[in-house]
Amino acid sequence: MHLTNICMRTIAGVFAAGYLSLSAGAAFAQSGDMDAGEAVYAKRCLQCHGEDGDGLGPAAERLNPPPRDFTLGMYKYKTTGFDDDIPNDADLTRMIRDGMPGTAMPGWGDMLSEQDIADVLAYIKYFAEIEDAPEIQVDYGTQVTSSPESIAAGKALFEEGDRCTECHGLEGKGSAIKKLKDDNGDRTWPRNLTKPWTFRASNDPKDIFTRISVGIPTTQMPSFADPNSKSSVSVEDRWNIANYVASLAKTDLVVNPENFVIQGGRVDGALPTSPDDEAWATAPPSTFIMVPQIVGEDRFFTPANDTISVRALYDDNSVAIHVEWDDRTKSIPGDDKAASIADEELFEDSVAIQFPRDIPEGMEKPYFLMGDGTNPVNLWRWNSGTTDAPQTGTVFDAMGINDQQARADNGELSVSSSYRDGTWRVVMTRALTTVLPETDLQFEEGRFVPISFFAWDGSNSEAGTAHTMTTWYWLQLKPAASSKPIVYGVLAALLSLLVLIWWGRGAAARAKREA
């Protein structure tokens, strides 16, 4: 750091401290010491937010969203009015203490004391020379508590004139109809409102109300309190919208660490081939976290999706696996509309299911990232197709991320898919056993089969080794209920009862004789 810089900041620090003590308003509950803040910043924040607070730390290129540029003095998650750029200290304190889910910004509450946070806050505010207190606060009116009526009213407002659907899509999954950028020109994706764990500032209706009222500064998410905007709405209606958005949270397709076995159910009739078939409702879903491929060359750092949900059904001959994941864009190369939303180049959307070639006897599995030299894997891969070519389902033999052989399409794998309002659903069906036991996994009822997943979002530059993935989980083709256990149990009970009676009688007789 330059010496002059330090001097300037110290002087400003003294000045700011004096200023703070004069205007000890509610917004300045705890005043921070800038010098102490600089030390905290240098150790904990500088790596991302940059020495000069410009957000240009070494990882900036690999983070989406990138670290905030503090020199602009613009903050996204604040409770001051849309027409006041200055945040409340409490807003920033909250972001620093609790972190911002879905970004690289962690919560520091477990590492920094309240004083540390106040100090570092004083320091980062100075990057933009924010010295004044904010003047306009969000007007919350009276909160409308959530109710079916409020939610219904909110839904109507959400869709009216494409108010929110324009960016967040009909189901709130962010199925974009246009490409969004932030003030800095970086790509942004509208939030998937069904995934509350990706909300930076929680999906409590009050927080959602705040976002709707303030917008998200520096992004295209606008304020709906601004009277100059034709889509602005009253305080009461903003509460209704907030209640509706809060009600969108997924409930059944959420990650549960205990649910790491996909239970394939047995069906008596025909296996459903369409992903929208009602029969899928009978198969319990398992939802897994997807992470970007940051392990093998070339790495990929900026995913657009974070979960995948899986179901399985089987009959005497075949197994059908239903995968479902949110993807804001239906990427069909050749389609002009799809191309206008995509990054520079548009690729096909794609998903792959990975199995070991053989069900492992012991613990050892193939390397989770597409196998290894001694333990190959089968990949069942579906591609969305282009305007010139239909969707495809292909089996690959893989022995590593850069070693995959596609098999000639011999109809072994049949696929079907549907895309609706930000969600892909794909079904892949294969025979339980095949004529190629040396190269194909052979399924057996009741056995635990390792399974994992890969997905490519073609509008997010995902192709080749740029994809998201899961670690190994399990698939079990759950054996149909049978009466065997009951029969064996009753037999064993009767048998032991006989033995006991025999023993008891013998012993009693012996005792009598001895007496």
Binding site for ligand HEC (CB under 6 A): 44-45, 47-49, 63, 65-68, 75-77, 92, 95-96, 100, 103-105, 108, 120, 124, 163-164, 166-168, 180, 188, 190-191, 193, 199-201, 208, 211-212, 216, 219-222, 224, 241, 245, 294-295
Which of ligand HEC, other proteins, none binds 164 (CB below 5-8 Å, type-dependent)? ligand HEC
Nearer to other proteins, 206 or 266 (CB): 266
Give least dist CB 351 to ligand HEC, A.
21
| Interaction pattern, residues 356-385, with other proteins; x per rule: CB under 8 A | -------xxxxxxx--x--x----------
Nearer to other proteins, 140 or 368 (CB): 368
What one-character DSSP code corresponds to residue 28? G
Is position 464 an interface residue for other proteins (rule: CB under 8 A)? no
* 96-124 burial code (b ≥16 CB/10 A, e <16): bebbbbeeebeebeeebeeebbbbbbbbb
Can you tell me the distance from the alpha carbon of 292 to that of 466, in angstroms, rounded to the nearest whole number? 8
Is residue 447 within 8 Å of 474, Cβ to Cβ? Answer: no
Can you tell me the distance from the alpha carbon of 381 to that of 395, in angstroms, rounded to the nearest whole number? 6
Residue 427: phi, psi to the nearest 5?
Answer: -115, 130
Rounded to the nearest 10°, the torsion over CA 220, 221, 225, 230 is 60
Nearer to ligand HEC, 163 or 250 (CB): 163
Nearer to other proteins, 178 or 510 (CB): 510
**205-214 and 235-247 helices, crossing angle to 10°:** 130
Is position 448 an interface residue for other proteins (rule: CB under 8 A)? yes
Nearer to other proteins, 102 or 385 (CB): 102
Q: Which helix (H) or strand (E) holds 18?
A: helix 3-22
Closest residue by Cα to residue 343 from 193, 426, 463, 172: 463
Give least dist CB 55 to ligand HEC, A.
8
Span near other proteins by CB under 8 A; candidates 217-225, 260-268, 313-321, 344-352: 260-268
Which of other proteins, ligand HEC, none binds 219 (CB below 5-8 Å, type-dependent)? ligand HEC
* 373-399 burial code (b ≥16 CB/10 A, e <16): eeebbbbbbbbbbbeeeebbbbbbbbb
| Interaction pattern, residues 282-321, with other proteins; x per rule: CB under 8 A | ------xxxxx-xxxx-x-x----x---------------
Can you tell me the distance from the alpha carbon of 382 to that of 455, in angstroms, rounded to the nearest whole number? 10
Token code pair at residue 340: 């206008």
Inter-CA distances, 241 with 69, 151, 328, 447, Å? 31, 7, 21, 48
Which of other proteins, ligand HEC, none binds 188 (CB below 5-8 Å, type-dependent)? ligand HEC
Closest residue by Cα to residue 417 from 350, 353, 468, 475: 350
Which of other proteins, ligand HEC, none binds 391 (CB below 5-8 Å, type-dependent)? none
Q: How many residues bind other proteins (CB under 8 A)?
A: 69
Nearer to ligand HEC, 145 or 483 (CB): 145
- Within 44-103, the residues that bind other proteins by CB under 8 A are 47-48, 57-59, 62, 102-103
Is position 6 an interface residue for other proteins (rule: CB under 8 A)? no
Give least dist CB 255 to ligand HEC, A.
18
- Within 476-495, the residues that bind other proteins by CB under 8 A are 476, 478-479, 484-486, 488-495
Give least dist CB 131 to other proteins, A.
29
Give least dist CB 263 to other proteins, A.
7
Give least dist CB 460 to other proteins, A.
16
> 298 preceded by cis ω (within 30°)?
yes
Token code pair at residue 288: 């897994």
Which of other proteins, ligand HEC, none binds 120 (CB below 5-8 Å, type-dependent)? ligand HEC
CA 436 from centre of chain: 37
Which of other proteins, ligand HEC, none binds 211 (CB below 5-8 Å, type-dependent)? ligand HEC
Residue 166: phi, psi to the nearest 5?
Answer: -50, -40
